[in-house]
Amino acid sequence: MEELEHIMPDKHHRESFLRLVGQLEDDRAAVVTLKGHLVLEEKISAAIEKFVFHSEHLDAARLTFAQKLSIARSISLDESGNSMWDLVKAINKVRNTLSHSLKGARRTDAMNELRSVYTKEMRGKLEDWEKNDEALLVLSSVSHCLGFLDAFEQEVERFKEVVNKLDRVVNPHRHSAQSTEHNSGKPSE
C-alpha cells in the first residue's frame, strides 16, 4: 500500500483507483471481454501481416481494431460476407463500452446486442449458461470467433503461397540469387 501511496499521493485518486480494480476483479465478463478482445486483435493482426509483404510498415499506421477488422474482412476471398465478422464487431462494441463504463445502460445494450448476434450465429440454439452468464457468453463468442479467424488466417496463408509462386515465375531475377545461394550453400558472387 505504501508503494501505491507513493505513486498516487492523492487519497481521492487512490481510492477511486482501488475501487476500479475491485470492480474489475469482481467483473468476470469485463475481464473475459478485455482479454478476449486482445486475443482476437492478435489473430486479426497476424492474418493482415501475413497478407502484406512489408508488415513492418503497419505499426506506423497505428490502426484501430475497427480498421484492422475492415482490412481483414476486405482481404477475405470467400468469407467477407460471413456473419462471424458481425460477431467480432459486437465483441468490439462490448469492449469499447467497457472502456468507458463498467456498468450502466450502455453495457446492457452492448451485451444484449452481442447476445443477439451470437444467438443468430448459433441459429437460436443457446445453452442456458450462455443465456444467463455474461462472462460465459463472451467466452463462447470469442471462442467461435477464434475458430473462424484461424480458418481465415489459413486462407490468407494459402493465398500468400500462390502469390509467392507467381512472383517466382514473374520475377525470376529476384529469386535467382536466392536459389543459387540455397543450392550451393554459399552466397552467390
- The confidence score (pLDDT) of residue 5 equals 79
Q: What are the residues whose beta carbons fall under 8 Å from the beta carbon of 11, sequence distance 6 or more?
A: none
pLDDT in tens, the chain (189 residues): 678 777 778 888 777 777 766 666 678 899 999 999 999 999 999 999 999 989 899 988 999 999 999 999 999 988 999 999 999 999 999 999 988 877 789 999 999 999 999 999 998 887 777 778 899 999 999 999 999 999 999 999 999 999 999 999 999 988 876 655 555 555 544
Does residue 64 fall inside a structural domain? yes
- The confidence score (pLDDT) of residue 12 equals 80
Does residue 7 fall inside a structural domain? no
Does residue 21 fall inside a structural domain? no
Number of domains within the chain: 1
Does residue 173 fall inside a structural domain? yes
- The confidence score (pLDDT) of residue 188 equals 46
Cα atoms found within 13 Å of the Cα of residue 181, Cβ hemisphere only: 8
Does residue 4 fall inside a structural domain? no
Tell me, yes or no, if the pTM score tops 0.75: yes
Structural domain for 81, as ranges: 29-184
Q: What are the residues whose beta carbons fall under 8 Å from the beta carbon of 47, sequence distance 6 or more?
A: 72, 75, 149, 152, 153, 156
User: d(Cα 105, Cα 73) in Å, to the nearest integer?
Assistant: 30
Does residue 2 fall inside a structural domain? no
Burial class (CB in 10 A: 0-12, 13-18, 19+), 54: exposed
Does residue 3 fall inside a structural domain? no
Does residue 119 fall inside a structural domain? yes
